[in-house]
């Protein structure tokens, strides 16, 4: 009799790398809708964000041994519900910091130098001649960058900024003297940082404390020629306030890898503003990083299914 493979339910689509790593080790059921497919036969849940997982859904899978997330942000999993049920939750920190910081820089520079606006013009019938007065942007080198959230990704952003001769400050729940010493970055309160920086980059995880961290009063503090970059989670920023801030030019521009909701409904006013650069959540989307995320998330999943400690366990 062939032994039965543990059955998991997985957020789809799964990457080819993940599929290869799981081949012959688990039986995979695709998971696209909330309650669908969750039952006592499921021993593992492999997720990357879409269905939110709370205690009610966990209770539909009484034999669940592990939740493994393909990514570092686990804001879509109610961690206290998992902890209360003794279900370990794994994620993939460390392997995606560099790619996500690169994306932060890419977005910051695109917004500063009006790249997407310029690209739209360059592809259009309206581009008839070079005009030296056209689309003047804001300098990145030598400017002041404020990083909100000095975790692994924030630190990588700071390292890149130093290569651009930027003056870097940060705000974090706890001060990080070792990073201040290593990189020469300066700690500021959130209010000071927002009111003095040319660029503000959000690198915090989404938690109860950071949801709506940047709302109307915070946006009002930012200088009118400053740029907000969000590589964290959409809900860290109040979308309505940001839309108004960009429409009424409280700030110069925003560069967003993430939005709330995600995706924004088609026709949302943010999508038609020239002073917004927007990407479809591509922070860690490189071939090499995705491969490492597959390896780590599959290692977490298999460890949990076998009752071993996860390589990276959040709870």
Residues at the contact surface with ligand DGY, assessed by CB under 6 A: 48-49, 71-73, 96, 283-284
The nearer residue to ligand DGY, 125 or 208, going by C-beta atoms, is 208
The nearer residue to ligand DGY, 44 or 283, going by C-beta atoms, is 283
Element spanning 106, H or E? helix 97-112
The nearer residue to ligand DGY, 69 or 169, going by C-beta atoms, is 69
d(Cα 272, Cα 120) in Å, to the nearest integer?
12
d(Cα 7, Cα 37) in Å, to the nearest integer?
11
Name 243's Cβ contacts closer than 8 Å, sequence gap at least 6.
Answer: 268, 269, 270, 273
Known catalytic membership, residue 281: yes
Residues 202 and 236: beta-carbon distance below 8 Å: yes
d(Cα 53, Cα 79) in Å, to the nearest integer?
9
The nearer residue to ligand DGY, 69 or 239, going by C-beta atoms, is 69
The nearer residue to ligand DGY, 93 or 212, going by C-beta atoms, is 93
Phi (first) and psi of residue 253, to 5 degrees = -165, 170
From 76, 114, 233, 312, active-site residue:
233
Q: How many angstroms separate the Cα of 197 from the Cα of each of 146, 151, 220, 222?
A: 6, 19, 13, 8
- Residue 31 tokens read as 């998971």
DSSP state of 62: T
Known catalytic membership, residue 262: yes
Phi (first) and psi of residue 81, to 5 degrees = -70, -40
From 171, 281, 290, 312, active-site residue:
281
Please state whether 219 falls in left (phi above 0), alpha (psi between -120 and 50) or beta.
alpha
**Closest distance between ligand DGY and the C-beta of residue 146, in Å?**
21
Known catalytic membership, residue 175: no
**Closest distance between ligand DGY and the C-beta of residue 158, in Å?**
19
d(Cα 168, Cα 103) in Å, to the nearest integer?
18
**Closest distance between ligand DGY and the C-beta of residue 148, in Å?**
16
The nearer residue to ligand DGY, 230 or 284, going by C-beta atoms, is 284
d(Cα 56, Cα 307) in Å, to the nearest integer?
23
From 27, 180, 262, 295, active-site residue:
262
The nearer residue to ligand DGY, 254 or 293, going by C-beta atoms, is 293
**Closest distance between ligand DGY and the C-beta of residue 284, in Å?**
5
Q: How many angstroms separate the Cα of 90 from the Cα of each of 26, 49, 83, 246, 297?
A: 17, 13, 12, 37, 7
**Closest distance between ligand DGY and the C-beta of residue 233, in Å?**
7
The angle, 0 to 180 degrees and rounded to 10, between the axes of the packed helices 287-305 and 97-112 is: 140
**Closest distance between ligand DGY and the C-beta of residue 271, in Å?**
20
**Closest distance between ligand DGY and the C-beta of residue 293, in Å?**
7
Element spanning 240, H or E? helix 239-247
* Active centre residues (catalytic): 233, 262, 281
């Amino acid at each position: 009799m062939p032994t039965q493979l543990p059955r998991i339910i997985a957020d789809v689509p799964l990457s080819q790398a993940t599929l290869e790593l799981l081949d012959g080790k688990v039986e995979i059921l695709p998971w696209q809708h909330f309650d669908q497919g969750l039952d006592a036969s499921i021993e593992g849940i492999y997720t990357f964000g879409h269905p939110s997982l709370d205690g009610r859904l966990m209770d539909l899978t009484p034999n669940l041994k592990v939740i493994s997330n393909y990514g570092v942000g686990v804001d879509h999993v109610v961690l206290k519900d998992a902890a209360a049920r003794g279900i370990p939750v794994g994620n993939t920190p460390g392997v995606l910091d560099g790619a996500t910081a690169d994306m932060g820089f890419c977005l910051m520079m695109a917004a500063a130098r009006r790249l997407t606006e310029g690209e739209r013009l360059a592809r259009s019938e309206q581009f008839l001649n070079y005009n030296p007065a056209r689309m003047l942007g804001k300098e990145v080198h030598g400017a002041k960058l404020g990083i909100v959230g000095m975790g692994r990704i924030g630190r990588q952003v700071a390292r890149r900024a130093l290569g651009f001769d930027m003056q870097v400050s940060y705000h974090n729940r706890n001060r990080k003297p070792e990073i201040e010493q290593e990189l020469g970055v300066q700690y500021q309160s959130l209010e000071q940082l927002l009111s003095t920086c040319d660029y503000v980059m959000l690198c915090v995880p989404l938690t109860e404390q950071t949801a709506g961290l940047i709302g109307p009063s915070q946006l009002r503090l930012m200088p009118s020629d400053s740029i907000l970059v969000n590589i964290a989670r959409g809900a860290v920023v109040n979308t309505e306030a940001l839309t108004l801030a960009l429409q009424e030019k409280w700030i110069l521009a925003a560069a967003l890898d993430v939005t709330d909701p995600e995706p924004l409904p088609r026709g949302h006013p943010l999508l038609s503003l020239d002073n917004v650069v927007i990407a479809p959540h591509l922070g860690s989307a490189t071939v090499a990083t995705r491969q490492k995320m597959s390896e780590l998330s599959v290692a977490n999943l298999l460890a949990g299914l076998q009752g071993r400690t996860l390589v990276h366990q959040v709870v």
